[in-house]
Amino acid sequence: MADPIKVYPPKPSHVYFYATCLIDMFYPDAGMAGIQLLEREGIKVVFPENQTCCGQPAYTSGYHDEARAVARAQLDLFPEDWPIVVPSGSCGGMMHKHYPGLFKYTGEEAKAKEIAARTWELTDFLLNACHIRLEDLGDPTTIAMHTSCSARREMGVAEVGPKLISQLKNVNLVEQVRAEECCGFGGTFAVRHPEISGAMVSEKVDTLTDTGTKAFVTTDCGCLMNIAGYAEKNRKPLTGQHILSFLWERTNAGKGGES
């Protein structure tokens, strides 16, 4: 069943920020950049300190009882009716698309549905709820973009990143062939099927480098880790960055702060 047309909330005074495990452990700069972009829009960002994993690794591995136990710990983190913004299409997709089914026929079903309805992927929220306008302060550069499968198919934000980047006058965004193809990460898929995952990321790196660029951005840290890690290990001329870090750096140059 197709999703209904998105109805974006008006620009709020407050949001909850759900950071994700990979940002917490490996890419805190992306989390800080997301917070700084929101704050620059005049929004107060509330970070629930007891947040943990959304439960997706267990869920996609078929361990739904275990996923439910992990996800249940998140349901009481967002008591106010503020939007919940997630700097990841993957974790956002878990909360928005799968929480209602995960908690179906349980005492938490109504709460899970309410949480799901308030969950937004952060770049989508910045563009379509905050109506952000970006002033590019960086030098001319060329980049490619990879949008994760979950961001593309579950959160429906494939066009958001390019639209944000199009506001940056000195950034040339080049498009890879077969841009919609998976990078091979897929959470535990990369661990359970390393040979298949390795072949997929090898092809993804080739399609990115074939554009002629040496840099890419992505909406998801799992894809970032997979693609940039493969490129570094195999000495490919390609570096990566989360799109939030990229946007903050391009629009904050010379203002006394880095992401």
pLDDT digits over 187-211, tens only?
888 889 999 999 999 999 999 999 9
**Where do we find the tokens 């934000």?**
157
Rounded to 5, what percent of the chain is helix, strand, coil?
A: 45, 10, 45
Distance CA 131, CA 121 (A): 14
Look at residues 49, 48, 46 and name the one whose alpha carbon lies nearest to residue 35.
46
What is the pTM assigned to this prediction?
0.94
Give all strands (DSSP E) within the chain, no chain letters.
14-17, 44-46, 84-86, 119-121, 141-146, 171-174, 215-218, 239-242
141-252: what fold?
Answer: Rossmann fold (3.40.50)
Task: State the Cα–Cα distance between residues 140 and 215, nearest whole angstrom.
Answer: 13
pLDDT of residue 221: 97
**Per-residue model confidence (pLDDT) at position 4:** 62
- 12 contacts: CB under 8 Å, gap ≥ 6: 43, 82, 83, 129
- In this structure, how many other beta carbons lie within 10 angstroms of the beta carbon of residue 44? 11
Q: What is the pLDDT of residues 82-98, one digit of tens each?
A: 999 999 999 999 999 99
Q: How do beta strands 171-174 and 141-146 pair?
A: parallel
pLDDT at 178 over 70: yes
pLDDT at residue 256 greater than cutoff 80 = no
pLDDT at 3 over 70: no
Which pLDDT tens digit goes with each residue over 120-169?
A: 999 999 999 999 999 999 999 999 999 999 999 999 999 999 999 999 99
Question: Domain segments of the chain: what residues?
Answer: 14-128, 141-252
